[in-house]
């Protein structure tokens, strides 16, 4: 097993309505709650030598300019509408991974456009809650190799 190294903080941002995971359209989003996702990310982050934090989207992105080594963001409904989030992400010189529980490209046409995909380092969509783990593992690798 490889040596563990401290790679700093990772910001995890959840967009609107994700607090309803587990209740809202479970046939589409699954039964896992946002608290369960956050708990699993914290455990995996500790294992990978990372930590996470969630908060007000644009303010947190702006605060992360000098403080964070990477961002995982699920902008939820803001994916399709928020130029403000896109502009805030343009301030960063760190890896940004956009995560979606569902495959947005198999959904309604208005959901198939992401305002931030062209400024994100990578996008993971359609893997359900496993997408967060995939994003955190990929981000840890990017940070360690960068």
Active site residues: 29, 100
SS3 of 125, please?
Answer: strand
Q: What are phi and psi of 5, to 5 degrees?
A: -130, 145
- Per-residue burial over 89-100, b if 16 or more Cβ lie within 10 Å, else e, is beebebbbbbbb
- Asked whether 109 and 139 are in contact (CB, 8 A), the reply is no
């Amino acid at each position: 097993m490889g040596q563990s190294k401290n790679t700093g903080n990772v910001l995890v941002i959840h967009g609107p309505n994700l607090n309803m995971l587990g209740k809202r359209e479970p046939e589409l989003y699954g039964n896992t709650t946002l608290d369960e996702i956050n708990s699993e990310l914290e455990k995996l982050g500790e294992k990978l030598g990372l930590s996470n934090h969630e908060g007000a989207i644009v303010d947190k992105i702006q605060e992360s300019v000098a403080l964070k080594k990477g961002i995982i963001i699920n902008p939820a409904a803001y994916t399709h509408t928020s130029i403000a989030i896109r502009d805030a992400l343009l301030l960063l010189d760190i890896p940004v991974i956009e995560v979606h529980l569902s495959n947005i490209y198999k959904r309604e046409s208005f959901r198939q456009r992401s305002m931030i995909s062209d400024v994100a380092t990578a996008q993971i969509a359609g893997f359900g809650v496993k997408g967060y783990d995939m994003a955190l593992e990929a981000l840890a690798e990017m940070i360690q190799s960068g």
